[in-house]
Amino acid sequence: MSDDGTRDNQRPGGELPHSLRQQLDALLESTLAGQQAIPRFDEFCAEVSGIFDAAAESRGGDVATYIPELACVDPERFGLALCTVDGQRFARGDATVPFCLQSTYKPIGYCIALEEHGEDVVHRYVGREPSGRGFNELTLDHEGRPHNPMINAGAIMCCALTRPDLDPAGRFKYVQSRWREVAGGARVGFDNAVYLSERETGDRNFALGYFMREKKGFPPDTDLMETLDLYFQCCSLELDAQGVAVAAATLAGGGVCPVTGKRVLEPRTVQNCLSLMSSCGMYDFSGEFAFSIGLPAKSGVSGALMIVVPNVLGICTWSPRLDRLGNSVRGVEFCRALVQRFAFHTYDNLRGLDKKRDPRRRALESWSELATLLGQFAED
């Protein structure tokens, strides 16, 4: 206090002195920034960009050839996009080039079935265990069900459960519209050439359909040909990496699309989906991916890879060069390097582990600093 009874650090009228106001403004700005999923987003993207460049050097793997149209894709294509749960976005390379979803369709296909019928009904027809076999193996579980929704048989079953009350055109439009919702209004196209190629060479998928019908695995009154047609159409949906990254971010955010702010999937639906992506999403590589990378993901033979960092962000990589198990070589290499650099592995927060960088700044620290500064001012 001064002799006249006023505070030395106040101006007349209770106005904060300029130096203190500057401190408070700067701290408030950083505190509000700390509320973002990744506060120092530009720095994070610069490091991610370096990881992308390193992965681009890989020339391993080959394009898929068992679907003739996929064999025509340029093997040097490589795109990356990411989107945080609060809508921060970044892209590199061929992120705006459309590609067929193929098996990256399956997580959302499973979500659609869950939203329509509920968990109990869906898992009456499809299991939730890793198969330990190839994604198109002619095999069912001990109850005569597909092992899980992330392999071909399980995805076909989810198609059988998807709006059977509609005609074929209506069912396809419905699926397309749901994808548009989870992808934040992105263009969801359709590659008719791939669809025709899939249907022409889809003997194994036809065999899976007949096998499940022989085991009486389908819901009553299922039209098998319509169901298989819908499955081929779903695999032939087209998005780019940016759209798939938004869809992955919708899953990361518990079903709220970060672009529109709308809830498009129920939290329980997303929880079930991420659980199965973690255990079954990477074909025969699922166990190794869960062990070494530790994130929910789904790959497709088009070279797409959808990765979810729960409560933080969604990522999509697209590179058509595949390993022998059908996963994108560059996509997997990118994921390995990402979790080596950042604390994104599910169990990176265990005590005693070597600390990696965590781009998720704790906003609570900034709020504490702000409260301390205000408290000091009040005491003066």
**Residue ranges covered by each domain of the chain:** 20-37+360-379, 41-341
If we measure between CA atoms, which residue out of 242, 244, 266 comes closest to residue 253?
A: 266
- Say if CB 301 and CB 103 are below 8 A apart: yes
Q: Once rounded to an integer, what is the mean pLDDT over residues 73-78?
A: 96
309: three-class secondary structure by DSSP: strand
CATH class held by domain 41-341: alpha beta
Q: Once rounded to an integer, what is the mean pLDDT over residues 129-139?
A: 76
Q: Give the tens place of pLDDT for each residue, 222-275.
A: 999 999 999 999 999 999 999 999 999 999 999 999 999 999 999 999 999 999
Beta bridge partners of 237: 190
pLDDT above 90 covers what percent of the chain?
Answer: 77
pTM confidence score:
0.87
Q: Tell me the torsion sign for CA atoms 152, 153, 159, 161.
A: negative
Q: Give the pLDDT band (50/70/90) at residue 349.
A: confident
Residue 377, pLDDT > 90, answer: no
Phi-psi region at 118: left, alpha or beta (left = phi > 0; alpha = psi -120 to 50) = left
Q: Which residues contact 30 (CB under 8 A, 6 or more apart)?
A: 39, 366
Q: Give the pLDDT band (50/70/90) at residue 1.
A: very low
If we measure between CA atoms, which residue out of 94, 54, 95 comes closest to residue 337?
A: 54
Q: Give the tens place of pLDDT for each residue, 166-201.
A: 999 999 999 999 999 999 999 999 999 999 999 999
Q: Give the Cα separation of 272 and 113 in Å (integer).
A: 12
Amino acid 193: pLDDT: 96
Q: Which residue matches tokens 């106001």?
A: 21
Q: Which residues contact 106 (CB under 8 A, 6 or more apart)?
A: 149, 150, 154, 155, 158, 298
